[in-house]
Structure 1
Amino acid sequence: MKTNRLILFIFLLTSIISQAQTTTYGDSKPEEFEFLPYEGSRIIQGFRVDMGNEKFCIVYSKPDKGITPDTVFIQEYKKDGLEWKQNIKGKRSSKHTIFIWGKRGGFFTDNTKTGIAYTAFSEEDLKTGDRFIVGYFILYKNTVFTIEEDKNGHMKKSDNFEQIPLHAKERILDAFSKLDKWSK
């Protein structure tokens, strides 16, 4: 009797573990994304997302140095079989230099298990060291969203920001409020 219960317990535990989905999110060296057909001439930052049955690469790239206005290309690629297909393409340009804050961001899933990635960025003057804007690039459902704050404390959200589900917006806004935006 004990043996049967033990076998049943092990079977149930194995079944539960095999259905669990583990998500990993982490930044990688830019050269690890050179195989992707990214826009621009150089990769600034790249992230890998592994949701078990779905794999993504998020790439931030720029054109050659010295090109004005400064531009960052925002791209997400999803693995489809053996190929990587681009499903998000966006860009941001500025008269100031755009920096991607590699370790300041995150990834989570919404109620439907759709991934939401966000990465901090800033716009700065290289000569004076002044920082003008700090924000998040938010990637969700094949779209780029932004939230940003200027040095006077004025917050601005992209026009499409309201499309993000309430619980996800709250989580992003909470992380953004805790971001140390102005110290260097």
Structure 2
Amino acid sequence: MKYIALLLTLISGIAAADAQVTVITRATEAYGNFKFRGVRLLNVNEVRVAEKEENVFVFSKAAKGIQPDTMYLQRYSKEKGVWVVKADTMLTHTGIIMNWDARKGFFDGDGDGSVDAYFIYSLTDAGQQQQSVHLLFSKGAAFYTISAAASDGYRQSRYSENFDRLPPAIKKTLTEVWERLDKE
């Protein structure tokens, strides 16, 4: 009986490991062959679901001092051995866009074998006084957002028009992350 329990535990562990999202960290120089839109490479996140999907998320910015401040997020996916841009978005702001690199998450929220990723950024004025905080979510070729403004003490959350189309499990996860986030 003890061996059966051990075998079941081992099989469960293997199955769970196979379904996990893996994040790989490399020096940004390793991504020199990616044609990112900005001039300055901010950060890169390489994320995969074992034997199902490989992604590279690239944050870059326009040249320093250019107004409005412009930040790009591009999602590259490996298709037939070649990296292709699967999703691409551009954020602009008359002040400064601050990427909160330590505030991000990767998961497979609906079990479809595709990486779901969220990133946090804020918009500040020229004096770096924070004006708003945003959660940018990437699923497949689409982006979704949740945001809150300093003007109302971050009490009212605003959702992108397409947010309701997300699967309930993903909406629940993102809402929990958003509610726990220290926005100030």
1:72-126 Cα offsets, whole Å, 9 max, x none, are 1111001123321110011111111101111101011122333210010001124
2:50 to 49, 52, 77: 52
- Report which structure shows greater RCO (CA 8 Å, sep ≥6): 2
TM-score with structure 1 setting the length: 0.84
Distance 2:180 2:162 in 1: 23
- Unpaired runs of 5+ residues, structure 2, are none
Distance 1:27-1:170 versus aligned 2 partners, 3 A rule: farther
Percent identity over the alignment is 25
Partner residue, 1:41: 39
Partner-residue secondary structure (3-state), 1:93 = strand
- Distance, in Å, in 1 between the alignment partners of 2:15 and 2:173 is 29
User: Aligned residue for 1:68?
Assistant: 67
SS of the equivalent of 2:19 reads coil
Please identify the structure whose Cα radius of gyration is greater. 1
CA shift at 1:22, angstroms? 3.1
- Opposite residue 30 of structure 2, the aligned amino acid is E
1:145/1:29 CA distance change after superposition, 3 Å: farther
- Structure 2 length-normalised TM: 0.84
Question: Could you tell me which residue of structure 1 aligns to residue 14 of structure 2?
Answer: 17
TM-align CA RMSD: 2.7
What SS does the aligned partner of 2:169 have? helix
Q: Residue 169 of structure 1: SS of its match in structure 2?
A: helix
Structure 1, unmatched stretches of 5+, are: 1-5
1:48 alignment partner, SS class: strand
Residue 164 (1) aligns with residue 128 (2): no
Comparing 57-66 with 24-33, greater Cα deviation is found at 24-33
1:123-134, aligned counterparts within 5 Å?
Answer: 123-126=123-126, 128-134=127-133
1:80 equivalent to 2:79? Answer yes
Count of residues paired in the alignment? 177
